[in-house]
């Protein structure tokens, strides 16, 4: 049956395809211009039609929304902007009835400065939560304790006059860093995890999991040597405000709790990370079940660079399991980011990159709208919401372009909301690529996406098989193999037509590629998935 999953004995998440939903931008049902939980529930049938295994929900818990939910003021309640806990329970019940797993975003590195914990901690140095955040004295000259730089620009320290100390924030000043070494913090986070596990969620996506702990000596970060830094944070290597042993120790405590529930999992975001960090955080069976870094969320690495990245994972004893994403809520959409880099027009870039993503050994995260081939949205300065984009314009446009509302219909506001204006404008180009329009077409990126996910789901080799990758002068070749099945995935990343021998093979799926007389003829930016033997 088309789209039937070949589930892994090692866990449902291993090799799964998980659809990321950014709640603010998915579907608005109450007319306030912001997406909500009822909107997600209403579209779970659509999500199921993509043949994915589950969904990852970006934050929907209580927050002042200075960083759109990644600044939490109550870990165990839904923000009224999105609905209620009853709405979440209904979403979870509907998803499970459709055999979709649900992963929720958990931001346990920091809270909002509006969180009651911080309100108490900042009052003085003797209260019960005085050590729940990272506090430090000023240097003798009154300057911050060290040179650490925040990800959104400027020093990672802000002065608190009531305590006469600085507090650490690796992101916005309104996102104070939790002190994971404090017993009360560890207990509170574990209770938060139990709260959601008891409600029935299938797993957690852990935001910046490698930022859970900091260097107790508060040593200065060394310079990075970056020749063209975009922000002060790029001028240093983040050795001491991240990646500390205590972070791994706490991840192990979380894993122990999660594993006490049946069929649950944790995927960690490791920022910016790469193989070494991913391997460290997933090694063995006591840490994260899987993790992703930013290898494929940055500039196009080139075919040789791509091969180097995926080839690090060789299924060695005790080695962890990777996750991969080409787009998400923090980076420009891949059709634009990589498509422009290699000169691929959007119509060819979309199937090329999606077929490539779904050919990788690991767990795959598919960002909402990626199945439609959406390019990066254009958001004018006066409509920007992202504090990073507002502060950095025009050097950076921030993250709003990848967060524009989902275009459901070729109608005003893309059918996302009945409000006069949505929280972010719907790009006119994206509205022309709406779900309803693509459903009606005989051929569309949406139909292509369904076919591609179904191909992966029906193949043991593509989901969990061994992987070998090589670069053939700009043509990327990935072989996937499992007992009784050998798949050959070929991607032409060049603007020239290519012909290569393929021996005895059968086309499983192809775009701008034809197999004839044992040779694969590929148009510029064409791709094909073949079965050998």
The full set of domain ranges for the chain reads 17-111+182-455, 466-532
Domain 17-111+182-455: top CATH class: alpha beta
Confidence check: pLDDT of 8 > 80: no
Confidence check: pLDDT of 67 > 60: yes
Q: Are 28 and 420 in contact (CB under 8 A)?
A: no
From CA 279, how far away is CA 288, in angstroms rounded? 10
Select from 317, 312, 280, 314 the least CA-distant residue to 296. 312
* Active site members: 207, 269
Helical packing angle, 445-457 and 346-357, nearest 10°: 10
Give residue 391's pLDDT. Answer: 82
Q: 519 pLDDT band (50/70/90 cuts)?
A: very high
Give residue 393's pLDDT. Answer: 86
Confidence check: pLDDT of 3 > 90: no
From CA 449, how far away is CA 456, in angstroms rounded? 11
Q: Are 147 and 104 in contact (CB under 8 A)?
A: no
| Tens-place pLDDT, residues 183-221 | 999 999 999 999 999 999 999 999 999 999 999 999 999
Q: 387 pLDDT band (50/70/90 cuts)?
A: confident
| Tens-place pLDDT, residues 364-382 | 999 999 999 999 999 999 9
- Protein fold of 466-532: Immunoglobulin-like (2.60.40)
Q: What are the respective helix, strand and coil percentages of the chain, to the nearest 5?
A: 30, 20, 50
| Tens-place pLDDT, residues 282-321 | 999 999 999 999 999 999 999 999 999 999 998 888 899 9
Strand pairing class (157-160; 475-482): unpaired
Give residue 6's pLDDT. Answer: 45
Confidence check: pLDDT of 1 > 60: no
Q: What's the mean per-residue pLDDT of the chain?
A: 96
pLDDT, average across residues 472-485: 97
Question: DSSP letters along 120-137, please?
Answer: HHTT-SSSTTTTSB-EEP
Confidence check: pLDDT of 439 > 90: yes
Q: What percent of the chain has pLDDT over 70?
A: 98
pLDDT, average across residues 473-499: 97
* 359 phi/psi in degrees, rounded to 5: -95, -5
Q: What is the CA radius of gyration of the chain?
A: 23
From CA 278, how far away is CA 322, in angstroms rounded? 7
| Tens-place pLDDT, residues 159-187 | 999 999 999 999 999 999 999 999 999 99
From CA 531, how far away is CA 455, in angstroms rounded? 11
Q: 2 pLDDT band (50/70/90 cuts)?
A: very low
Of the listed ranges 1-15, 60-74, 419-433, the one predicted with least confidence: 1-15
From CA 34, how far away is CA 23, in angstroms rounded? 8
- pTM, full prediction: 0.96
Select from 281, 99, 327, 107 the least CA-distant residue to 202. 99
261 or 395, higher pLDDT: 261
Select from 251, 202, 258 the least CA-distant residue to 57. 202
Confidence check: pLDDT of 4 > 70: no
Confidence check: pLDDT of 255 > 70: yes
């Amino acid at each position: 049956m088309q789209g039937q999953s070949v589930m892994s004995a090692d866990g449902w998440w291993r090799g799964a395809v998980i659809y990321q939903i950014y709640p603010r931008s998915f579907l608005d049902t109450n007319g306030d211009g912001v997406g909500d939980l009822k909107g997600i529930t209403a579209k779970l049938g659509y999500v199921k039609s993509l043949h994915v295994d589950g969904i990852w929900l970006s934050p929907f818990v209580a927050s002042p929304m200075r960083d759109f939910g990644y600044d939490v003021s109550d870990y165990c309640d839904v923000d009224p902007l999105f609905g209620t806990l009853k709405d979440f329970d209904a979403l979870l019940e509907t998803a499970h009835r459709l055999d979709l797993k649900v992963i929720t975003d958990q931001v346990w590195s920091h809270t909002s400065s509006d969180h009651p914990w911080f309100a108490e901690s900042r009052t003085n140095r003797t209260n019960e939560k005085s050590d729940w955040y990272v506090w430090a004295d000023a240097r003798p000259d009154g300057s911050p304790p060290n040179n650490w730089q925040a990800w959104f620009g400027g020093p990672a320290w802000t002065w608190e006059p009531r305590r006469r100390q600085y507090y650490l924030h690796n992101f916005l000043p309104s996102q104070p860093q939790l002190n994971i070494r404090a017993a009360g913090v560890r207990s509170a986070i574990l209770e938060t995890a139990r709260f959601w596990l008891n409600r029935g969620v299938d797993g957690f996506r852990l935001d910046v999991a490698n930022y859970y702990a900091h260097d107790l000596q508060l040593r200065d970060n060394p310079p990075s040597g970056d020749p063209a830094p975009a922000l002060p944070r790029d001028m240093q290597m983040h050795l001491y405000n991240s990646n500390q042993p205590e972070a791994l120790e706490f991840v192990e405590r979380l894993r122990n709790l999660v594993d006490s529930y049946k069929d649950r999992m944790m995927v960690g975001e490791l920022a910016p990370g790469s193989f070494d960090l991913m391997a460290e955080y997933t090694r063995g069976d006591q840490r994260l079940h899987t993790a992703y870094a930013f290898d494929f969320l940055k500039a196009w690495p080139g075919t040789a660079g791509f091969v180097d990245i995926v080839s690090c994972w060789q299924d060695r004893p005790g080695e962890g399991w990777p996750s991969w994403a080409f787009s998400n809520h923090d980076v420009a959409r891949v059709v634009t980011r990589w498509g422009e880099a290699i000169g691929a027009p959007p119509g060819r870039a979309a199937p090329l990159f999606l077929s490539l993503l779904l050919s990788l050994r690991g767990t795959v995260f598919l960002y909402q709208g990626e199945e439609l081939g959406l390019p990066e949205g254009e958001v004018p300065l006066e409509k920007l919401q992202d504090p990073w984009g507002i502060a950095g314009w025009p050097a950076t446009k921030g993250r709003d372009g990848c967060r524009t509302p989902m275009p459901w219909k070729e109608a005003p506001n893309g059918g996302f909301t009945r409000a006069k204006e949505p929280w972010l404008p719907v790009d006119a180009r994206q509205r022309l690529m709406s779900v309803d329009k693509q459903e009606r077409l005989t051929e569309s990126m949406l139909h292509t996406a369904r076919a591609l996910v179904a191909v992966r789901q029906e193949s043991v080799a593509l989901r969990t098989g061994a992987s070998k990758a090589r670069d053939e002068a700009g043509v990327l070749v990935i072989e996937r193999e499992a007992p009784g099945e050998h798949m050959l995935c070929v991607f032409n990343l060049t603007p020239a037509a290519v012909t290569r021998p393929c021996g005895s093979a059968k086309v499983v799926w192809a775009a701008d590629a034809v197999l004839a007389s044992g040779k694969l003829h590929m148009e510029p930016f064409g791709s094909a998935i073949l079965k050998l033997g």
